[in-house]
Amino acid sequence: MNKYNNKALSIQEQIERLKKNGLIIDDENQANKTLSIISYFRLASYWRPMEEKDQGHQFKPNSHFNNALSLYYFDKELRALIFSAIQSIEIALRTKVIHSFSIMYGPFWFMDDTLVKSLKQQLENIASLRKELDRSKEDFIQEHYRKYDFPDMPPSWKTLEVASFGVLSKLYSNFKDKNVKKDIAKSFGVPQHEYLESWMRSIAVLRNCCAHHARVWNRRFSMIPQLPKSMSNDWITNLNLDTHKIYAQLCCIIYWQNSIYENNDFINKFKQLLQKYPNIDVTAMGFPKDWEMEPLGKHKKKNIPRTTVHQRLFWGLFLFVLVRYFSLAMKRSVSTMKRTCVPFPMMPAPSLASTLNMSLRPSTAVRSPVAFISEPNADGFM
C-alpha cells in the first residue's frame, strides 16, 4: 500500500517549486494573484505541454508561466464559444425530436416500451427522466402535476424540456423507428441517423466538459463522432484525422450550426480567438495544416445584397408617401363636407297651450303622418 503523505503547499511554496523545476516567472506578484484564484492543478494541465518527457516535472528551456496562463484563458473562451453553439444545437434537436416522435406516436411515446430497441436502456432513461422531473422547479412541470395525475409523467413536450442532452441522445438512439430518426437527421443535412447518433453522444461529452470548466483544447475524447465522406452542405474533404481530438467535434458543431442558422458567426469568432492568442498550437487540437481551405472552414456569414437594401429603402419611402397622401386627402374631404353641408332646420317645439288648443279643435288639428299616408287620394290610390 502506498500512502499519500504530501503536505499542502502555500502559494509562495508553489511558485518556488515551479521555479525550481525550470518555469520562468516574470512577475511573481501576478503569479501569486493568479494561483490564489486558479488552482495549481487546474493550471498544471496548461503548463504540462512545456514539461520534458520522462523528466519528472522539469520544464523545457524557455518555458514561461505567462504562456501557460495565456493557454488557460484561450481554453476558457473556447469553451464559452463551444457551449453557446451547443446550446443552439441542443434546443433545435430537442424541438425536432419532441415534434416528430409525438406526431407519429403520441405525447407519451418515450414511455412506450414497445418502441425501443433495448429495454434495459429504456429503464435507465425513464429513471433519469423521473429524477429530472422530481428536482425540476419549472412552472409548467409543477402546474401539470397540480392538474393531472395520470399518466404519472407529463407529455413529451413538457418532460423532455427538462431532460439532459445526454438522456435526449440516448432516447433518440434507443428508438426503433429508423424512418423518423432518418427524417430528423436529414433535416440537419446529415445523410443517416447513425452519424447523428454518434455526433449527439460525442457532443454530449464535450458539453459536460464545457459546463464543468474542464480543459478541452488538447483533450483526447473517448467518445468520437463518425465523419461522413460526403454531405449535402459544405463539409470537409480531409477525413484523415485524429477523431479523438476536438477538431473533429468542431467540424460537426460547425456543420450542425450552419444547418440551423445559416448566417451564424461561429467560424469568424473562432478565427478571431486564434488571432487574439497567436501562440496557440492548433495541431495539438487535431487541426490539419490546410484546415482553413476546407469548404466548411470557408463558410462565412452572408451579407444582405445591396440591391435588397435599396429595394427596402424604396418601398419604405413609397409606403410613407402613400400613407401621407391618403391622410391629407381624407382631411381635405372632411373639410369640404363641413363647408357644403346645409344644416337641417330645427322646428320650435309647440307650447303646452297650443297643444291643448289643437286637441280641442279637431277640424284644425294637424293630421298625423300615418293618417295622411293611409287615406286614399281623389283617384282612389293610396
Residue for grid cell 453557446: 84
| Average pLDDT along the chain | 87
Q: What is the pLDDT of residue 56?
A: 82
Residue 373 C-alpha cell reads as: 299616408
Q: Is the pLDDT of residue 143 over 80?
A: yes
> What are the pLDDT digits (tens) for 62-109?
999 999 999 999 999 999 999 999 999 999 999 999 999 999 999 999
Check residue 41 and give its pLDDT.
Answer: 94
pLDDT value at 371 more than 50: no
3-state secondary structure labels for all residues of 219-250: CCCCCCCCCCCCCCCCCCCCCCCCCCCHHHHH
376: left (phi over 0), alpha (psi -120 to 50) or beta: beta
- The predicted pLDDT at position 49 comes to 94
Q: For residues 200 and 190, is the Cβ–Cβ distance under 8 A?
A: no
Say what the pTM is: 0.77
Listed in sequence order, the residues at least 6 apart from 322 whose beta carbon sits closer than 8 Å to its beta carbon are none
Q: How far apart are CA 39 and CA 41, in angstroms?
A: 6
Helical axes 193-211 vs 65-105, angle rounded to 10°: 130
Cα dist from 300 to 110, 127, 235, 277, whole Å: 39, 43, 13, 21
Question: Averaging pLDDT over each range in 243-252, 347-356, 367-376, which range is the top one?
Answer: 243-252
**181 alpha carbon, distance to own chain's centre:** 21
pLDDT of 78: 98
pLDDT tens per residue across span 291-341: 999 999 875 544 434 444 456 656 666 666 666 766 776 777 666 666 655
Least confident piece of the model among 41-55, 91-105, 123-137: 41-55
Please state, in angstroms and as integers, the Cα–Cα distance from residue 208 to each residue in 34, 162, 167, 171, following that order: 25, 16, 13, 18
Name the pLDDT band for 379 (thresholds 50, 70, 90).
Answer: very low
Amino acid type, 5: N
Q: Which of 65, 59, 80, 72 is nearest to 31 (CA)?
A: 65
Decide if pLDDT at 365 tops 60: no
Does the pLDDT of residue 127 top 80, yes or no? yes
Give the pLDDT of residue 267: 96
At 54, is the pLDDT very low, low, confident or very high (cuts 50, 70, 90)? confident
- pLDDT of the residue at 323: 64
pLDDT tens digit sequence for 181-208? 999 999 999 999 999 999 999 999 999 9
- Give CA separation, 378 vs 362, 372, 381, in Å: 22, 13, 8
Q: What is the structure's pLDDT at 306? A: 43
Give the pLDDT confidence score for residue 373 in this predicted structure.
37
Sign of the Cα pseudo-torsion (275, 276, 281, 285, in order): negative
Question: Which phi and psi angles does 24 have, rounded to 5°?
Answer: -85, 120
Amino acid at 109: W
Of 46-55, 111-120, 291-300, 335-344, which range is least confident?
335-344
Q: Residue 59: what pLDDT?
A: 97
Q: Supply the DSSP string of 276-305, one letter for each residue.
A: HSTT--GGGGT--TTGGGSTTTT--PPPPP
**Per-residue model confidence as pLDDT tens digits over 229-286:** 999 999 999 999 999 999 999 999 999 999 999 999 999 999 999 999 999 999 999 9
What is the average pLDDT across 211-234? 96
Residues above pLDDT 70, as percent of the chain: 79
pLDDT-derived band at 347 (thresholds 50, 70, 90) equals low
Task: Categorize the per-residue pLDDT at 168 as very low, low, confident or very high, splitting at 50, 70 and 90.
Answer: very high
**Tell me, what's the pLDDT at 368?**
42
